[in-house]
Amino acid sequence: MGKKRNNPLYKVILTDLAGIGCLLLVPFLGPLPGPGGIPLILAGLGFFAVNHDWADNAIHYVKKHSESLQSVVFPNKPLFKNLWDFFAIMLFVFGWWINIVASHALLTALSISIIATASTIFMLNRNRLAWIDAQLRRTGKK
């Protein structure tokens, strides 16, 4: 059986509308390079998880399986780590170059998306994001 939630109806409606709003934005941001719509999907599920067990279960499933997906995409082998870093740096330089020479707003947006993609790859490789998270959590403790 699910958790007992005693939220007032207006809070349920507002959080569900926020979740729907996030999920409606996904098709527009999903095709962009970089994280695209993934954070919006997770935010939408987060809003739904406040009031619905199915969304809470979906978030737990994603948390459980995201590390295994990361280990498949970014294997713990020095050659692959170095190749991912090289690719991310080259992609970042390419995005920066497009940004410098771009004379059209669409090219500028594309360059920013490429730079965001390169930054995401760089942070996920070698578990840099997890390291930064651990350092930030450590600074909050006394």
89 pLDDT band, cuts 50/70/90, is: very high
Domain containing residue 100: 74-142
The values of phi and psi at residue 71, to 5°, are: -70, -25
* Same-domain pairing of 30 and 87: no
Mean pLDDT of the chain: 84
Give the type of residue at 104. H
Last residue of a domain, one of 73, 103, 124: 73
* Same-domain pairing of 84 and 55: no
Calpha distance 124→129 (Å, rounded): 6
Paired tokens of 111:
């360059």
21-72 confidence digits (pLDDT tens): 988 988 887 776 666 677 788 888 888 888 888 888 888 887 777 767 777 8
* Same-domain pairing of 13 and 44: yes
* Same-domain pairing of 38 and 27: yes
Last residue of a domain, one of 73, 101, 133: 73
* pLDDT for the residue numbered 2: 57
* Same-domain pairing of 9 and 30: yes
* pLDDT for the residue numbered 63: 77
* Same-domain pairing of 39 and 19: yes
Number of folded domains in the chain?
2
The interaxial angle of helices 128-140 and 105-124, nearest 10 deg, is: 70
Q: Residue range 107-123: average pLDDT? A: 89
* Same-domain pairing of 64 and 86: no
Higher pLDDT, 115 or 136: 115
3-35 confidence digits (pLDDT tens): 667 778 888 899 999 999 988 988 887 776 666
* pLDDT for the residue numbered 18: 92
* Closest to 55 (Cα-Cα) out of 15, 88, 100, 83: 15
Last residue of a domain, one of 45, 73, 101: 73
Q: Residue range 109-132: average pLDDT? A: 87
DSSP codes joined into one string, the chain: -PPP----HHHHHHHHHHHHHHHHHHHHHTTSSSSTTHHHHHHHHHHHHTT-HHHHHHHHHHHHHHHHHHHHHS-S-HHHHHHHHHHHHHHHHHHHHHHHH--SHHHHHHHHHHHHHHHHHHHHGGGHHHHHHHHHHHHH--
The percentage of residues in the chain with a pLDDT greater than 90, rounded to a whole number, is 26
